[in-house]
Amino acid sequence: MKNTKYGTDFLTTRKIEEDNLLNQIDSENDSNDQSLKNSLFAIAKSELQKVQQLILNNENNEKLNLKFKKKLKDDIAMKHDLETKDMNPSQKLLDRIQSNHDYLDDLAVKIDSMTANIAVSEIGLKAAISELRKVDPKAAASLENSLSLKKKTKPEN
């Protein structure tokens, strides 16, 4: 093509169009990257919330366990005191002891199950954080710290 006014304008226009196309592709890639980051962050955050909720529920179960163990211990001590005085414990006391014992057995199973669920959920959370770390290490570290802080604030029994 001859280098005429129109030929130059065509080449200039063509170059501008190519630049615009490359910018559009870059912008779409940035948009896709941001979309991927947002998606992975949402998944990891959801997993974190699930783990935190399970931990909170388990803490409540453990508090109930302590409370009912204390009640059971007190009732058993009362029964023992009555028996040492050659008195028969009331049926109400015996029923309460049995009821608390049964409740504690059920609660122990629930706590064990919840502990297993927490462990499985933590694996899912760590996998989600690992995927997020590939595209957004800062967000991944933030979520990981949230879990660490929650575990540190958990009261020890």
d(CA 127, CA 43): 10
pLDDT score recorded for residue 22: 61
pLDDT at 87 over 90: yes
Confidence tier at 149 by pLDDT (50, 70, 90): low
How many percent of the chain have pLDDT more than 90? 46
Burial classification of residue 20, based on how many CB atoms lie within 10 Å of its CB (0-12 exposed, 13-18 middle, 19 or more buried):
exposed
Q: Identify the weakest region by mean pLDDT among 25-29, 60-64, 147-151.
A: 25-29
pTM of the model: 0.68
Q: Identify the weakest region by mean pLDDT among 43-57, 62-76, 87-101.
A: 43-57
